[in-house]
Amino acid sequence: MTSSLDAIANAQEAAKRNLWLHFTRMSSYADHEVPVIVRGSGAYVFDQHGKRYLDGLAGLFVSQVGHGRQEIAEAGARQASELAYFPLWSYAHPKAIELAQRLADLAPGDLNRVFFTTSGSEAVESAWKLAKQYFKLTGQPERYKVISREIAYHGTSMGALAITGLADIKYPFEPMTPGGVRVPNTNFYRAPAFVGGDLEAFGIWAADEIERAILREGPQSVAAVYLEPVQNSGGCFPPPPGYFQRVREICDRYGVLLVSDEVICAFGRLGYYFGSQRYGYQPDIITFAKGVTSGYAPLGGMLVRDELMEPFTAGTATFLHGITFAGHPVSCAVALANLDIFEKEDLLGNVRANEPAFRATLEKLCDLPIVGEVRGAGYFYGIELVKDKDTRETFNDEESERLLRGFLSQALFDAGLVCRADDRGDPVIQLSPPLICGQEHFDEMEAILRTVLTEAWSRL
Ligand SMILES: Cc1ncc(COP(=O)(O)O)c(C=O)c1O
pLDDT confidence band for 2 (50 / 70 / 90): low
pLDDT at 160 over 90: yes
pLDDT confidence band for 424 (50 / 70 / 90): confident
Please report which helix (H) or strand (E) contains residue 301, including its range: strand 300-305
Helix axes 199-217, 243-254, angle to 10 degrees: 20
Residue from 311, 328, 329 nearest 320 by CA: 311
Are residues 203 and 243 in contact, defined by beta-carbon separation less than 8 angstroms? Answer: yes
Q: CA end-to-end span of the chain, whole Å? A: 42
Residue nearest to atom 10 of ligand 1 (CA): 120
Residue from 290, 383, 372, 378 nearest 338 by CA: 290
Are residues 55 and 35 in contact, defined by beta-carbon separation less than 8 angstroms? Answer: no
Q: What is the number of the ligand 1 atom nearest to the C-alpha of 155?
A: 6
Q: Supply the pLDDT for residue 260.
A: 99
Residue 413 CB: number of other CB atoms within 10 A?
18
Helix (H/G/I), strand (E/B), else coil: 391: coil
pLDDT at 1 over 60: no
Ligand 1 pocket, 261 CB below 6 A? yes
pLDDT at 363 over 80: yes
Ligand 1 pocket, 292 CB below 6 A? no
Q: Supply the pLDDT for residue 243.
A: 98
Counting ligand 1 atoms within 8 A of each CB, the residue from 151, 153, 299, 380 with the most, and so the one to mutate, is 153
Ligand 1 pocket, 125 CB below 6 A? no
Q: Supply the pLDDT for residue 301.
A: 98
Residue nearest to atom 9 of ligand 1 (CA): 120
Mean pLDDT of the chain: 96
The amino acid that residue 394 corresponds to is: T
Are residues 220 and 140 in contact, defined by beta-carbon separation less than 8 angstroms? Answer: yes
Are residues 61 and 232 in contact, defined by beta-carbon separation less than 8 angstroms? Answer: yes
How far is the C-alpha of 268 from the C-alpha of 106, rounded, in Å? 12
Please report which helix (H) or strand (E) contains residue 346, including its range: none
Ligand 1 pocket, 205 CB below 6 A? no
pLDDT confidence band for 44 (50 / 70 / 90): very high
Tell me what percent of the residues of the chain surpass a pLDDT of 70.
100
How far is the C-alpha of 276 from the C-alpha of 244, rounded, in Å? 9
What are the pLDDT digits (tens) for 394-420? 999 888 888 888 899 999 999 999 999
pLDDT confidence band for 43 (50 / 70 / 90): very high
Overall average pLDDT of the 5-13 stretch: 91
Residue nearest to atom 3 of ligand 1 (CA): 154
Overall average pLDDT of the 318-343 stretch: 98
- Exposed, middle or buried, 219 (CB in 10 Å: 0-12/13-18/19+)? middle
- Exposed, middle or buried, 32 (CB in 10 Å: 0-12/13-18/19+)? exposed
Q: How far does residue 194's CA lie from ligand 1's centre (Å)?
A: 33
Q: Supply the pLDDT for residue 401.
A: 87
What are the pLDDT digits (tens) for 284-312? 999 999 999 999 999 999 999 999 999 99
Q: How far does residue 4's CA lie from ligand 1's centre (Å)?
A: 36
Residue nearest to atom 8 of ligand 1 (CA): 120
Report whether the peptide linkage leading into residue 192 is cis, meaning its omega lies within 30 degrees of zero.
Answer: no
How far is the C-alpha of 35 from the C-alpha of 313, rounded, in Å? 50
Please provide residue 410's backbone torsions phi and psi, each rounded to the nearest 5 degrees: -70, -40
pLDDT confidence band for 3 (50 / 70 / 90): confident
Please provide residue 113's backbone torsions phi and psi, each rounded to the nearest 5 degrees: -115, 130
pLDDT at 134 over 60: yes
Ligand 1 pocket, 121 CB below 6 A? yes
Q: Supply the pLDDT for residue 19.
A: 96
Q: Supply the pLDDT for residue 403.
A: 87
Q: How far does residue 66's CA lie from ligand 1's centre (Å)?
A: 19
Please report which helix (H) or strand (E) contains residue 386, including its range: none
Q: What is the number of the ligand 1 atom nearest to the C-alpha of 61?
A: 14
Please provide residue 207's backbone torsions phi and psi, each rounded to the nearest 5 degrees: -65, -40
Ligand 1 pocket, 119 CB below 6 A? yes
Overall average pLDDT of the 226-239 stretch: 98
Q: What is the number of the ligand 1 atom nearest to the C-alpha of 264?
A: 16
Ligand 1 pocket, 355 CB below 6 A? no
Counting ligand 1 atoms within 8 A of each CB, the residue from 60, 118, 154, 163 with the most, and so the one to mutate, is 154
What are the pLDDT digits (tens) for 374-398? 999 999 999 999 999 999 999 998 8
Please provide residue 218's backbone torsions phi and psi, each rounded to the nearest 5 degrees: 100, 110
What are the pLDDT digits (tens) for 242-261? 999 999 999 999 999 999 99
Are residues 208 and 246 in contact, defined by beta-carbon separation less than 8 angstroms? Answer: yes
Counting ligand 1 atoms within 8 A of each CB, the residue from 128, 264, 331, 420 with the most, and so the one to mutate, is 264
pLDDT at 460 over 90: no
Q: How far does residue 185's CA lie from ligand 1's centre (Å)?
A: 17
Ligand 1 pocket, 234 CB below 6 A? no
Counting ligand 1 atoms within 8 A of each CB, the residue from 57, 263, 420, 432 with the most, and so the one to mutate, is 263
Ligand 1 pocket, 154 CB below 6 A? yes
Are residues 387 and 397 in contact, defined by beta-carbon separation less than 8 angstroms? Answer: no
Q: How far does residue 123's CA lie from ligand 1's centre (Å)?
A: 9
| Selected residue with higher pLDDT from 111 and 32 | 111
Tell me what percent of the residues of the chain surpass a pLDDT of 90.
93
What are the pLDDT digits (tens) for 177-222? 999 999 999 999 999 999 999 999 999 999 999 999 999 999 999 9
Q: What is the number of the ligand 1 atom nearest to the C-alpha of 232?
A: 16
Please provide residue 83's backbone torsions phi and psi, each rounded to the nearest 5 degrees: -150, 100
Ligand 1 pocket, 127 CB below 6 A? no
Helix axes 94-106, 329-344, angle to 10 degrees: 40
Ligand 1 pocket, 427 CB below 6 A? no
Residue from 163, 88, 87 nearest 121 by CA: 163
Ligand 1 pocket, 165 CB below 6 A? no
Residue nearest to atom 4 of ligand 1 (CA): 154
Q: What is the number of the ligand 1 atom nearest to the C-alpha of 298?
A: 10
**Dihedral in degrees, nearest 10, Cα atoms 399, 27, 150, 460:** -10
Cα 286–291–296 angle (5° rounding)? 135
How long a stretch of residues is the chain?
Answer: 460
pLDDT at 443 over 70: yes
Q: Supply the pLDDT for residue 426.
A: 87
Please report which helix (H) or strand (E) contains residue 275, including its range: helix 275-279
| Selected residue with higher pLDDT from 460 and 166 | 166
